[in-house]
Amino acid sequence: MGWIQDYQPAGGLWISALLAALPIIVLLVSLGVLRRSAHLSAALALVTAIVMALVLYRMPVGLALDSALMGLVFGLWSVAWIAFNAVYFHNVTVATGRFDNIKAVLAGFSEDRRLQALLIAFGFGALLEGVAGGGSPIAITAAMMAALGFPPVKAVILALLANTAPVAFGGLGNPLIVLGRLTAPILGLKPEEATDLFSAMVGRQVPVLALIIPAFLIVVLAGWKRMVEIWPAVVTAGLAFAIMQFVTSNYISPSLVDVVAALSAMGALWILTRFWKPKTVWRFDEEDTVAAPATTKASRGALYAWAPYVILVLAIFLSRIGTIFKNLPTWLDLTKLLHKADWVFAWPGLHNEVIQHPPITAKNTPYAANLTVDFLYSPGTVALIAAIIAGLVMGAKGKLLLQTYWKTLIQMRWALGTIFMILAIAFVMNYSGATQTLGLALAATGALFPLFSAYIGWLGVFLTGSDASTNSLFGPMQVISAQQLHIDPILAGATNTSGGVMGKMISPQNLSIGATAIGQSGKEGQLLRQTFLWSLLLTGVVGVISLLQATVLSFMIPTP
């Protein structure tokens, strides 16, 4: 008989929930009020989580330390390895000069500022989110638009607003991979099964936003009338993105969603402008408004410029081919071959040593602690291989690739440390019983829980800047709360993810990145004021979608 969790260690549910939330409160206060660095805030929260596990929940020291250590290792492989190699891929395109070719192609697309915003902020920003995630889409697209002549602050606002629809699948699907692996034991599913279900569910929520965001961007940029003037481009970009986002998330792989959807939206815009153009080229007040040119020429180097991303798409597609096409011959099923290198093991000293009980489980049940290390199948490994192949194709020497790898490690060292500690917090809270306590308390919101669920995700991303982080902190809690309310837990976890993306545009880290990118440090407050209400409103849209899916649209929820 192992150690039995206590869900009301303080004698009552609400006081227990308040104390259980202390690690999260410490993290949010340190980040949002005291404005400490993310890694320092995470370290303080981790210490708090361990203290609460030992003192409040009376968890044995060995189990508490084992759960923290397992969280660190989980963060290293399941999160950091993917995020790091996604950023490395992007850095290789920069180091080889190919990224300059891409910027030249984008800059030559159109003189109309509205079309430029659609292509760069919405399309290219989504591609960067899908590959690298983090703050790179905001920094790069804001700087590009400012260099093209957009007012700097306006450029950042557009980049922040556009960085919504793709965030759930950012960094090669990392937020959903994290969510799936953390909640699989709670759901009684394999990690891959849970990830695919969450991917499908999110892919039935955020495409609605993808249809809205392009029009939303142009209204903010130029007003309603100017948006209507280019409605074919707005509809084309949103529809192409939304359709491919749905198809890829439901039938291919969460790792490919943003890349495929973004390339589709940009390609559709490019094709459209070969046959259609606005009557006038809209520019800013200080610029001239001129008649549209007769033709739109694509750069000769367009295919050359996009070659690295084509290689990445092919690499991920081939690695997932067995999940896309069933019953392939063994020699052709690369997915199955890659999985042969997986290492699955029970964490010593923790596996089945913690006992969950009603109302969290139907009866006393050992809490498994299995860790899967998918050495070859991981999106991080695939991105690394794609980066090396793309680098060699682009003429990079081995020395440059190694130097870029080292520079990426230096660039991300604090972010990686933060990831490790956030996951350690999540595991300590899960195995101590704190997450379960919070889940039981949240169940008190009743039928309105799906609406609150979106704002919980929003709060997490607002202060951590990461959808993967908010899934780590709140994903298990959302799933457990939904189970207590007899609401589909897949819907709850997905809504945590989809609602979270709306916090990205007001996250202090992203505001700082955007302001720095245009040389306007100190303007973060101005950026926040101009995006905060939009963020709240769009989160409400996600909450309403989730509420409808929990009731009248329940047929939209995927089943195992």
Q: Three-state SS across 92-157?
A: HHHHCCHHHHHHHHHHCCCCCHHHHHHHHHHHHHHHHHHHCCCCHHHHHHHHHHHHHCCCHHHHHH
For 18, the 3-state DSSP assignment is helix
The pLDDT score that the predictor gives to residue 294 is 41
Q: What is the pLDDT of residues 455-473, one digit of tens each?
A: 888 887 875 667 887 888 7
Q: Is the pLDDT of residue 283 over 70?
A: yes
The pLDDT score that the predictor gives to residue 380 is 85
Per-residue confidence at 388, pLDDT binned at 50, 70, 90? very high
Q: Is the pLDDT of residue 170 over 90?
A: no
Q: Which carries the bigger pLDDT value, residue 24 or residue 232?
A: 232
The pLDDT score that the predictor gives to residue 247 is 95
Long-range contacts formed by 328-332: CB under 8 A, 24+ apart: none
Per-residue confidence at 237, pLDDT binned at 50, 70, 90? very high
Share of the chain above pLDDT 70, in %: 92
The answer to whether the CB of 488 falls within 8 A of the CB of 191 is no
Compute the chain's Rg from CA coordinates.
23
Per-residue confidence at 272, pLDDT binned at 50, 70, 90? very high
- CA 340/CA 301 separation, integer angstroms: 40
Distances (CA, A) of 163 to 2, 217, 419, 496, 526: 46, 11, 21, 17, 18
Q: Is the pLDDT of residue 329 over 90?
A: no
* Least confident segment among 106-110, 258-262, 438-442, 517-521: 517-521
The pLDDT score that the predictor gives to residue 523 is 67
- CA 469/CA 41 separation, integer angstroms: 13
Q: Which carries the bigger pLDDT value, residue 92 or residue 316?
A: 92
Share of the chain above pLDDT 90, in %: 38
Cβ neighbours for 317, distance < 8 A, ≥ 6 positions apart: 252, 253, 256, 324
* Least confident segment among 256-260, 296-300, 380-384: 296-300
The pLDDT score that the predictor gives to residue 288 is 55
The pLDDT score that the predictor gives to residue 32 is 65
Q: Is the pLDDT of residue 214 over 50?
A: yes
- CA 471/CA 49 separation, integer angstroms: 17
DSSP 504: G
Quick one: which H or E segment has residue 343?
Answer: strand 342-346
The pLDDT score that the predictor gives to residue 196 is 94
Torsion 548-551-554-558 (CA) sign? positive
Per-residue confidence at 556, pLDDT binned at 50, 70, 90? very high
Nearest to 78 by CA among 163, 167, 184, 200: 184
- CA 509/CA 171 separation, integer angstroms: 17
Q: What is the pLDDT of residues 346-371, one digit of tens each?
A: 999 999 999 988 888 878 889 888 88
* Least confident segment among 444-453, 486-495, 516-525: 516-525
Average pLDDT over residues 506-532: 71
The pLDDT score that the predictor gives to residue 293 is 45
Q: What is the pLDDT of residues 399-442, one digit of tens each?
A: 999 999 999 888 878 877 877 888 898 889 889 999 888 888 87
Half-sphere exposure of 43 (CA within 13 A, CB side): 9
For 34, the 3-state DSSP assignment is coil
The pLDDT score that the predictor gives to residue 232 is 96
Per-residue confidence at 246, pLDDT binned at 50, 70, 90? very high
The pLDDT score that the predictor gives to residue 132 is 64
* Least confident segment among 127-136, 149-158, 472-481: 127-136
Q: Which carries the bigger pLDDT value, residue 91 or residue 293?
A: 91
The pLDDT score that the predictor gives to residue 420 is 85
pTM of the model: 0.78
Q: Which carries the bigger pLDDT value, residue 477 or residue 232?
A: 232
Average pLDDT over residues 489-500: 94
The pLDDT score that the predictor gives to residue 7 is 92
| Phi-psi region at 172: left, alpha or beta (left = phi > 0; alpha = psi -120 to 50) | left
Per-residue confidence at 519, pLDDT binned at 50, 70, 90? low
Residues in the chain: 560
The mean pLDDT of the chain is 86
Nearest to 16 by CA among 362, 439, 367: 439
Name residue, tokens 């459209």: 272
* Least confident segment among 137-141, 475-479, 486-490, 515-519: 515-519
Tokens standing for residue 154: 């306006």
